[in-house]
Structure 1
Amino acid sequence: MIISLESEMARVRSTSRAESGKRDRAILVNVTNGFADDAAESMAEFEELAVSADVVVLDKIIQRRKQIDPRSVLGRGKLEELLIRSMRLGADMIIFDTELTPAQVRILSEATDLKVLDRPQLILDIFAQRASSREGKVQVELAQLKYLLPRLVIGQNSAFSRLAGGIGGRGPGETKLETDRRRVRDRIAQLEKQVDALGRQRNERRKKRAQRELPMISLVGYTNAGKSTLLNALTQSEVYAEKKMFATLDPTSRRLRLPIDQEVIINDTVGFIRDLPETLVAAFRATLEEISDSDLLVHVVDASNPRAIQQINSVDAILKELDLNSIPQLVALNKADVASGDVIEQIRREVMLDKNTECVAISAIRRETLRPLAERIGDRVALVERSAVVI
């Protein structure tokens, strides 16, 4: 029976491996002591993150517990079940939908030969894949090293030595994961100086734009809400846009002529997500500070997403953390062509109740729906300019 089981497991692994090629293969795990619906929604978003990182998702496991196990997150029985499942499916890694402590990673890694990753590492890996500019690469490497420094264990046999390649270990910082703590700290200090220098350069560019006295509009919102698509539609540009999380890392600025014959600068910014790693927020702070000079924030929302309200709240929380919540906002309910009228109206009511902010329903892929948004932007810009004159 054991020989037969091993043969069947080997057959399944070889077949699955051939189908997925060289892509990383993972089992996603969510452990919660909350409501089942919340856990299911969180897992759905977590799977989107994994797919965006080019991971083959073999299985998803949700465990509800009265109390999260402080040692291994999962209970012993569930952990054994997970390990057997991973062997049968031929998984390369297990990814947890939470941030793991160094002790938890060590305990989980001692129980299996697979990579053990958490949610922040998955997000950092997506950023590493997307970073193309010098500034983006520096910021991602800084975030990677800051995250890994307290988890770094010297020695080839450490649990973290498995992170040296692939998901969780690629990107500008991948060759430094096995260096000692002193060298990592030195590298972090060097990168922080580079980020500061790049921030000063960005500041100079902002000053030059300000001298032109053109109002500045920034598109903000949850990742994959359609900000880049909207920028392309409004300005007839060809900024890279893809239906993947964090497709945009580097801010892009374009000129836009409004219906009132007023020119403005419109910025596309990096998308937000709930539980964004603190190291990533810190590293990208210089980039996100560009939003601080905005006269208006257009908060782009994917109205077709069942988690739209939660996503709005997550974006507002990050804006508050960055001290950007005082800038006037206009909410653009995107993808209105696939969301029902009742859903649009419900989101509109909740936004008005919570934020007292005007909402405009649009579809970024249908330019005829964008004129009302452009008109509202023009009204807000004119209001800001009149206020400036009064002052």
Structure 2
Amino acid sequence: MGEVSRGARALVVCPDLRGQTYDLDPDARLDEICGLALAISVVIAESYVLPVRDVKPNTLFGAGQVERMAADCELHEAELVVIDGALSPIQQRNLEDRLKRKVIDRTGLILEIFGERAATAEGRLQVELAHLDYQQSRLVRSWTHLERQRGGFGFLGGPGETQIEADRRMIRQRMGRLRRELEQVRKTRGLHRERRGRAPWPVIALVGYTNAGKSTLFNRLTGSDVMAEDLLFATLDPTMRAISLPGVEKAILSDTVGFISDLPTQLVAAFRATLEEVTGADLILHVRDIANPSTAAQKSQVLDVLRDLGVIEGENGESNIPILEVWNKGDLLGPERQAELQEIAAHDDSVAMVSALSGNGVDALEQQLGRELTALAKTEEFFVKAAEGRKIAWLHAHGEVLEDEDAGEGPDGPLRRLLVRLNPKELGQFETL
């Protein structure tokens, strides 16, 4: 992508359109778009909310507002203008003409971040597809990199084809190839999930609004060093690590991309394969920044995404996967509010209060996770040949053995009878031994 240079000085404008409803209030939206800009090392030269009474088809803003923005660009030496909203291609081009600056809207900015953060081959495929989807409606400045990729097929369009038509055709062809590659990735992920479903180890998925502290908690629980900066969208690819918990020898912890309000439709579609990891989990940890003034609105956004993924169903919003809420960053609240939330968490099994940064409450969270995962355990009766010491040892190591006694002679020699509490995943693993 590379359209925004690191360290560029930016004017950040959050349009507040009359008659439009938003999930967050204007100040919270302005904070969020500034956070997004900072995530790609843009310097915020000036930022403000701009009420828009009547949307102008050509520029979105009124003439006086465009003049004000131009003056602010000069005053604060801004070389980039970030608009917190979706601009049509015409609006973007007209604003660039009048402001004499590069203009980027919310979708373009998030694409820049995603392009910088995507670490795996799948992540890069998804970002490129989303970027091409965004660009195909715009008259692009230069697609020379695609021209080079065409190789020997550079003249297929024929002599009468204009550059823009050629560009659009190349974009469509490239998008077709990317969709086929991503479909293959989805199938592979599906197979992996199926394998884990039969499976040895329970899977815990961390979800939450971006910057809620998921990666910090992930690092705290796993002892790994996944990128965990105070940046929006620090994590873009699911990361998995094995952890041990009280009563559970091994579980898989999966960190996922952060959710955000008004995520551009191109990105919702492109990142669905990544988010589908959540649907294969045995337990979902919903990490919330409980100190954020918009925490309730952020929770609503996360639940909406889980609803879209089919995790939450029905009128009452029942989840088909257990969800445990983790209230993070409570140490940033005042003492009274902290005490109030701790009292609530102490009497609610579906809530845990922690500071992922300091580690406070994490031990109690691990105990809670162990209880949640072992709650599904059932008592099973096994007759095992006495000579199969490995199987008997495995049951003692992985389950709660309630009885272990001699069961007499079987057709192939002496038998032992064991009564063991196992969760479904452990039972599935035992059956493969």
TM-score (norm 2): 0.74
Q: Give yes or no for the alignment of 1:332 onto 2:326.
A: yes
Q: Which residue of 1 aligns with 2:366?
A: 374
Q: Which residue of 2 aligns with 1:29?
A: 13
- Amino acid of the residue matched to residue 226 of structure 2? V
CA distance in 2, matches of 1:282, 1:260: 38
Report the CA distance between 1:366 and its aligned residue: 2.9
Structure 1 unaligned segments of length 5 or more: list them.
1-20, 154-159, 166-171
Report the CA distance between 1:35 and its aligned residue: 9.5
| Structure 1 residue corresponding to 2:168, chosen from 167, 181, 184 | 181
Report the CA distance between 1:78 and its aligned residue: 1.2
CA distance in 2, matches of 1:147, 1:35: 24
Q: Give yes or no for the alignment of 1:289 onto 2:276.
A: yes
| Structure 2 residue corresponding to 1:358, chosen from 350, 355, 359 | 350
Aligned partner of residue 365 in structure 1, secondary structure: coil
Aligned partner of residue 384 in structure 1, secondary structure: coil
CA distance in 2, matches of 1:200, 1:73: 42
CA distance in 1, matches of 2:34, 2:134: 22
Q: Which residue of 1 aligns with 2:306?
A: 319
Residue deviations 1:89-116 (CA, integer Å, cap 9, x gap): 2222211111112232233233232111
Percent identity for Structure 1 against Structure 2: 36
**Max Rg structure:** 2
Q: Give yes or no for the alignment of 1:246 onto 2:233.
A: yes
CA distance in 1, matches of 2:218, 2:113: 22
Count of residues paired in the alignment: 352
Sort the Cα spacing of 1:185 and 1:38 in 2 relative to 1 into closer, same or farther, 3 A: same
- Amino acid of the residue matched to residue 69 of structure 1? K
Sort the Cα spacing of 1:22 and 1:290 in 2 relative to 1 into closer, same or farther, 3 A: closer
Q: Which residue of 1 aligns with 2:40?
A: 53
Write the mapping of 1:48-197 to structure 2, written as runs, cut at 5 A: 48-151=35-138, 153=139, 160-161=140-141, 180-197=167-184
Structure 2 unaligned segments of length 5 or more: list them.
150-162, 313-318, 379-422, 426-433
Q: Which has the higher strand share?
A: 2
CA distance in 1, matches of 2:88, 2:337: 39
Q: Give yes or no for the alignment of 1:202 onto 2:189.
A: yes
Report the CA distance between 1:248 and its aligned residue: 0.9
C-alpha contact 1:94 1:116 (8 A) present in aligned 2: yes
Q: Which residue of 2 aligns with 1:3?
A: none
Sort the Cα spacing of 1:46 and 1:22 in 2 relative to 1 into closer, same or farther, 3 A: closer
Report the CA distance between 1:340 and its aligned residue: 3.0
Aligned partner of residue 292 in structure 1, secondary structure: helix
Report the CA distance between 1:314 and its aligned residue: 1.2
Sort the Cα spacing of 1:22 and 1:45 in 2 relative to 1 into closer, same or farther, 3 A: closer
Aligned partner of residue 313 in structure 1, secondary structure: helix
Aligned partner of residue 141 in structure 2, secondary structure: helix
C-alpha contact 1:262 1:378 (8 A) present in aligned 2: no
CA distance in 1, matches of 2:172, 2:237: 26
Report the CA distance between 1:229 and its aligned residue: 1.2
Report the CA distance between 1:120 and its aligned residue: 1.0
Report the CA distance between 1:121 and its aligned residue: 0.8
Residue deviations 1:243-291 (CA, integer Å, cap 9, x gap): 1111111111111211124421111111111111111111111111111
- Amino acid of the residue matched to residue 336 of structure 1? G
- Amino acid of the residue matched to residue 241 of structure 1? A
TM-score (norm 1): 0.81
CA distance in 1, matches of 2:354, 2:243: 17
- Amino acid of the residue matched to residue 362 of structure 2? L
- Amino acid of the residue matched to residue 245 of structure 1? L
Comparing 276-285 with 107-116, greater Cα deviation is found at: 107-116
- Amino acid of the residue matched to residue 266 of structure 1? L
Aligned partner of residue 150 in structure 1, secondary structure: coil
C-alpha contact 2:248 2:374 (8 A) present in aligned 1: no
- Amino acid of the residue matched to residue 360 of structure 1? A
Comparing 29-38 with 250-259, greater Cα deviation is found at: 29-38
